Structure 1
Amino acid sequence: MNNSREQNLARLREDSYIVEPDQKFEVDYFKHEDAVGIARLYYAVYGENFPVDHVYDPDELVRINKGDDLIQIVGRTPKGDVVGLYALFQAAPNPKIMEGGSWIVHPDYRGTSLGLRMVSRFHHRPPEDLEFDGFFGQSVCDHLTSQKLCKKFKALPCAFEVESMPPRSGEEESYGYISLLDGMIVLRNSSDEVVLPFRYDSQLRDIYEWMGLNRSFLPDTFGAEELASAGETNLSVKLLDEAGLVKVEVESIGSDFAECLAGVLREHQGMHKYHIYLPLWCYSISVAVEAARAEGFFFGGLLPLWYERDALLLQKLAGTPDFSKPSLLVKESKALLNMVEADWNDLHG
């Protein structure tokens, strides 16, 4: 039986392990003896605030690494200390989309080449037995370091998540929630038909253009009358309690969409943030967008191949966002922020 989050955190508190600075290090794929060091690294960098429980649980880290759902690359010293981490994991309904993240370097090793070497180890030499449609990643927007890495590896910005990440430990008052820039490296693109919602036609065309993705754009022919004869909505809900985030993944839009969405919001009141992922192949997409906006949702961006086909991201925030805070590197990410801010202002104007 796995330890609880609190049990794992209590062990780390009592451990009080200190990593010796200025050691040499190597970059390698995960070994089971790295698990304790990874938990210590998360604790050293994030304190007790990281929103995923298993990062503090060495036994669970060993178990997950045995499958294909998690690939971890570590920076390891001769003493066995883990001083850096880069991971790929499944986060989308499409199992062939791997998310790159958990890019962490111990504070005493941030002036080294470790961060770049870990990412290069995977993207220059990915495991030959695994086939992917693409790599998804999220860059924090309180600094530019991870965005520079995405630019280097040609991950193109596709969506902007306003104030989605909890504050860093010790920065709750000084900065607050952190916005995330979503990027994608598409490896196996195929031409597909996309139904563009009326409200976001121009925004989505712009994103498709700068990502270089070939799509056939179809007009949305469904109105409320046609939707009334459609089937039921198919959706799933995922909670990230520590981040205060509710994710609603919609794979089909039926006549009951507005009712289903309202039910999700009633059941999960008081959360910091809500995301909806809408299928961009459904002719009822425009009706769904307007129903979501009636509940306070605004534009987030495009997620190519999210369901093996493309998805539209919409978001709802409990408070009023500060659009002046994000630091952005490239013109496309700045264009995304402008789209998101304009739609939020239109909704709340």
Structure 2
Amino acid sequence: MDSRLKSSSDTMNRTFEVHLLRSEDAEGVCRLFRSIYGEGYPIKIFYDPERLITANKEGDYYTSVAKSTDGEVIGIHNFFRSAPSRDVYEWGVGLVLKEWRGMGVSGAIERYMIEEVVPELSMHTVFGEPVTHHLQMQKHSESFGFPPTALEVGLMPGEAYKGEGVKSERVSTTMGFRVYRNIHQKIFVTADYKEAIDFLYEGFSSGRTFAESTDPLPSGTHSRTRMELFDFAKVARITFYETGSDFSDRISGLESEAVGKGYIVIQVWLKLTEPWIGNVVKILQRRSFFLGGILPQWFDDDGLLMQKLLFTPDFDSIKLYSDRSMRIRDLVKSDWQRLCG
């Protein structure tokens, strides 16, 4: 894949090159992270050059770097796998060396990723998780065609952003998606969330048909699930690849395990293509889970985010850029008040 030569937007007109990570760049990426975060960044792959190189070769990460003419890595952004589908990539972990900020470096990397990397690698869906203690990342996300579809309430500890003036104990994020290749599917809608689902699918309904979810959970079937625990953030993410008649027992056991280990944010990811999703949602609602939003093509099939908090969320601290994101906040907050408040 070709690299791009760019000029900075300041009066010094310094030049830099943007390209996908090469083996010789990895040490520079680690130096960049240490220059900004010391040893404190929670994603440790960025301190391990060999591991980062391997992840890029295997397609779990695609790291785009900006390098100055003297060979210094001055900025990066990443695509990386974090969803159940291997063809869905998260766009994140972007930073620029302090001396190069405000010079168009981040924007040049972003354009390179969207205009060259995504088409070359045939990803069907890309998403991002802009934080909500400021508006810049949300504005960037929506300007590149990633409208929000979900709100992850209290996802991150405020201390992770202590250098940015954050005073709240937890920081929420939106989830914004861009679908490059639609997968046709039938979506089942629980009656409780029909209004919300109708709104959230605005701009994402291509290739979808919709039906009310009325089926019972199929008897004699077993759920297929996986739980990931993120110790730094105290977040448990539970993916249900399939839900069966044992769903109530499975979620009870997994939730108890997470709470017993001190996790305070519990997210559940479900398939909206299961005809019995409505009854799955009812089980979660009885356990004080509330709506997060939709996750287009999350499993290849579309997903639904439900979430539970072991603290009172501070909705007033959430700063949002667009009318759409504010409407999502209102839907999520209303559901939390109804089920948990």
Q: Do these two structures clear the TM 0.5 threshold for a shared fold by scoring above it?
A: yes
Equivalent-residue separation in structure 2 for 1:22 and 1:243 (angstroms):
40
C-alpha contact 1:49 1:168 (8 A) present in aligned 2? no
Equivalent-residue separation in structure 2 for 1:93 and 1:141 (angstroms):
25
Equivalent-residue separation in structure 1 for 2:179 and 2:231 (angstroms):
30
Alignment of 1:226-245 (within 5 A): 226-227=216-217, 229-245=219-235
DSSP 3-state at the match of 2:187:
strand
Deviations 1:67-122 (A, max 9, x none): 22211111212343322111111111111111111111223322110010001012
Partner of residue 171, structure 2: 178
Deviations 1:139-188 (A, max 9, x none): 11111111121122111111111121232244687243221110111111
Q: Is residue 51 from structure 1 mapped to residue 51 from structure 2 by the alignment? A: no
C-alpha contact 1:141 1:181 (8 A) present in aligned 2? yes
Choose which of 178, 182, 205 in structure 1 pairs with 2:198.
Answer: 205
Q: Is residue 107 from structure 1 mapped to residue 94 from structure 2 by the alignment? A: no
Equivalent-residue separation in structure 2 for 1:212 and 1:281 (angstroms):
14
Equivalent-residue separation in structure 1 for 2:274 and 2:105 (angstroms):
44
Alignment of 1:90-129 (within 5 A): 90-126=81-117, 129=120
Q: Is residue 40 from structure 1 mapped to residue 34 from structure 2 by the alignment? A: no
Partner of residue 293, structure 2: 301
CA gap of 1:229–1:75, structure 2 versus 1, over 3 A, is same
Q: Is residue 188 from structure 1 mapped to residue 178 from structure 2 by the alignment? A: no
DSSP 3-state at the match of 1:211:
coil
CA displacement at 1:214 relative to structure 2:
4.3
Equivalent-residue separation in structure 1 for 2:244 and 2:207 (angstroms):
28
Choose which of 73, 78, 81 in structure 2 pairs with 1:87.
Answer: 78
Equivalent-residue separation in structure 2 for 1:164 and 1:207 (angstroms):
20
CA gap of 1:251–1:153, structure 2 versus 1, over 3 A, is same
Identical-residue share of aligned pairs (%): 31
Partner of residue 249, structure 1: 239
DSSP 3-state at the match of 1:232:
coil
C-alpha contact 2:214 2:278 (8 A) present in aligned 1? no
Deviations 1:307-342 (A, max 9, x none): 111110011122111111122111111111111111
* Runs of 5+ unmatched residues, structure 2: 1-11
Equivalent-residue separation in structure 2 for 1:78 and 1:30 (angstroms):
16
Equivalent-residue separation in structure 2 for 1:147 and 1:170 (angstroms):
19
CA displacement at 1:22 relative to structure 2:
10
Q: Is residue 157 from structure 1 mapped to residue 169 from structure 2 by the alignment? A: no
RMSD of Structure 2 on Structure 1 (CA): 2.1
Which one-letter code corresponds to 1:238 in the other structure?
A: E
DSSP 3-state at the match of 1:254:
coil
C-alpha contact 2:218 2:245 (8 A) present in aligned 1? yes
Equivalent-residue separation in structure 1 for 2:239 and 2:45 (angstroms):
23
| TM-score in terms of structure 2 length | 0.89
Equivalent-residue separation in structure 2 for 1:43 and 1:169 (angstroms):
17
Which one-letter code corresponds to 2:264 in the other structure?
A: H
